[in-house]
């Protein structure tokens, strides 16, 4: 019969041992055990709302002060107050507000962090992705996956703005960030306008002569009119998710899975007066209010939000959502790192034991 052994050292002997270990770039696991093997995660990121009323004027101010020659991208970063100045909105995800003024371009480049854009104000500005020029309109989702060439341009006469979403903090933590400028400011458009939409954008119809090779969606453009139509069809008839209301995932048409290997995107509609139950998951999420007003309770904290605000839900934080209007729907766009956690068997989800916080 084996038994656990008793410690033999005096406090002085132990202290001297720990000092010696430190000089040799080592340490004793048992002195830090509890901070390494936590019972459950506790994100350093905190729940937070960035208000459109404050963000938009700062983007306009940035456009007054800085040109796109000096700013590779004119982005107001949304930095989580709990993350001590890290360039991160949640532990793994980054979000920011980008503005391109009339007549301006943001030069062509590519990087390994994957990006998505949810268009907030644009009446025909564009992003070109690998030679495919994608016109951007309010509510559209545009992807620029890992290592795709992309540049943005505004040939309209009003400023264009969108929410950027990137897996930058994750790629940075993995020390896998590469970046390359294109040889010219604007990349040549080599395909008919909006080719990915023409080729892959028909609901449930896939070109059979194409052999999917990439891990991301071949479709780069998810226009708002299709998204809105799907929500409108479903909202009156669907039960929806107990945690998210009528929630739809933007999919990779080749797989039915997430649009990119590191980020999934969702659109959700909370019907007038609808409030959801609380749950939590190890993935973190960034939300943008497409329209409406309401609140979310995140880790016990009430976050009131309205049209075009952005808010975040850190990993493993309980959250529930409510539409404050009795007559109008509330619509939220969101993106999450859930595909990363799922593929590593680290995605856990738990309903709140009482349903609400």
* Residue in 55, 59, 63, 75 binding ligand 1HN, rule: CB under 6 A: 75
CB of 164 to ligand 1HN, least distance (A): 4
Burial class (CB within 10 angstroms; exposed 0-12, middle 13-18, buried 19+) of 103:
exposed
- Total binding residues toward ligand 1HN, as defined by CB under 6 A: 10
Supply the DSSP symbol for 307: T
CB of 179 to ligand 1HN, least distance (A): 8
Q: Does an H or E element contain 105, and which?
A: strand 105-111
Question: What are the beta bridge partners of residue 313?
Answer: 285
* Residue in 45, 59, 63, 96 binding ligand 1HN, rule: CB under 6 A: 96
- What is the contact mask toward ligand 1HN in residues 237 to 276, using x (rule: CB under 6 A)? ----------------------------------------
* Residue in 73, 172, 271, 279 binding ligand 1HN, rule: CB under 6 A: 73
Nearer Cβ to ligand 1HN (75/247): 75
Stretch that binds ligand 1HN, among 163-171, 182-190, 193-201, 210-218 (CB under 6 A): 163-171
Q: Are 274 and 323 in contact (CB under 8 A)?
A: yes
* Residue in 48, 74, 133, 150 binding ligand 1HN, rule: CB under 6 A: 150
Burial class (CB within 10 angstroms; exposed 0-12, middle 13-18, buried 19+) of 114:
buried
CB of 177 to ligand 1HN, least distance (A): 9
Write out the DSSP string of 187-250.
Answer: PPP-SSTTHHHHHH-STT---TT-----SS-S--EE-HHHHHHHHHHHTTT---BTTTBEEEE-
Q: Does an H or E element contain 170, and which?
A: helix 168-173
Nearer Cβ to ligand 1HN (222/295): 222
Nearer Cβ to ligand 1HN (115/303): 115
Nearer Cβ to ligand 1HN (47/96): 96
Count the helix, strand and coil residues of the chain and give each as a percent rounded to the nearest 5. Answer: 20, 30, 50
Nearer Cβ to ligand 1HN (115/317): 115
- What is the contact mask toward ligand 1HN in residues 114 to 133, using x (rule: CB under 6 A)? -x------------------
Q: Are 276 and 270 in contact (CB under 8 A)?
A: yes
* Residue in 168, 170, 197, 331 binding ligand 1HN, rule: CB under 6 A: 168
CB of 115 to ligand 1HN, least distance (A): 6
> Of 245, 244, 227, which is closest to residue 235 (Cα–Cα)?
245
> Of 176, 163, 179, 71, which is closest to residue 116 (Cα–Cα)?
163
CB of 263 to ligand 1HN, least distance (A): 13
Stretch that binds ligand 1HN, among 1-9, 160-168, 213-221, 344-352 (CB under 6 A): 160-168
Examine residue 134 and tell whether it contacts ligand 1HN (CB under 6 A): no
Beta carbons within 10 angstroms of residue 322's beta carbon: 18
Nearer Cβ to ligand 1HN (55/247): 55
Distance CA 295, CA 298 (A): 9
Distance CA 139, CA 161 (A): 11
Q: Does an H or E element contain 179, and which?
A: strand 179-181
> Of 256, 251, 42, 219, which is closest to residue 145 (Cα–Cα)?
219
* Residue in 164, 244, 274, 337 binding ligand 1HN, rule: CB under 6 A: 164
Stretch that binds ligand 1HN, among 27-35, 42-50, 164-172, 306-314 (CB under 6 A): 164-172
Q: Which residues bind ligand 1HN (CB under 6 A)?
A: 73, 75, 96, 98, 111, 115, 150, 164, 166, 168
């Amino acid at each position: 019969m084996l038994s656990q052994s008793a410690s033999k050292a005096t406090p002085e002997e132990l202290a001297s041992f720990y000092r010696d270990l430190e000089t040799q770039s080592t340490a004793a696991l048992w002195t830090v055990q509890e901070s390494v093997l936590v019972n459950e995660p506790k994100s350093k990121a905190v729940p937070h709302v960035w208000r459109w009323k404050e963000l938009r004027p700062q983007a306009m101010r940035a456009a007054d002060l800085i040109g796109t020659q000096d700013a590779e991208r004119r982005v107001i970063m949304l930095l989580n107050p709990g993350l001590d100045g890290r360039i991160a909105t949640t532990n793994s995800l980054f979000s920011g507000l980008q503005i391109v003024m009339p007549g301006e371009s943001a030069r062509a480049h590519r990087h390994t962090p994957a990006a998505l854009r949810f268009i907030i104000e644009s009446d025909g500005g564009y992003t070109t992705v690998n030679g495919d020029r994608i016109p951007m309109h309010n509510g559209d989702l545009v992807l620029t996956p890992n290592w795709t060439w992309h540049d943005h341009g505004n040939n309209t006469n009003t400023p264009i703005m969108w929410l950027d979403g990137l897996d930058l903090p994750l790629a940075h933590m993995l020390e896998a960030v590469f970046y390359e400028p294109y040889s010219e400011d604007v990349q040549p458009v080599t395909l008919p306008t909006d080719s990915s939409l023409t080729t892959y954008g028909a609901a449930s119809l896939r070109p059979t002569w194409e052999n999917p090779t990439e891990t991301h969606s071949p479709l780069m453009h998810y226009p708002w009119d299709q998204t809105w139509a799907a929500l409108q069809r479903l909202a009156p008839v669907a039960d929806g998710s107990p945690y998210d209301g009528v929630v739809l995932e933007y999919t990779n048409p080749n797989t039915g899975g997430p649009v990119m290997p590191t980020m999934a995107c969702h659109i959700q509609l909370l019907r007038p007066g609808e409030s959801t139950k609380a749950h939590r998951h190890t993935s973190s999420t960034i939300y943008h209010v497409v329209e409406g007003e309401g609140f979310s309770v995140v880790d016990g904290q009430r976050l009131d939000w309205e049209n075009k605000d952005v808010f975040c839900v850190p990993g493993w934080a309980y959250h529930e959502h409510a539409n404050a209007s009795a007559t109008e729907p509330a619509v939220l766009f969101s993106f999450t790192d859930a595909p990363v956690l799922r593929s590593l068997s680290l995605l856990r989800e738990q309903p709140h034991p009482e349903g609400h916080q």
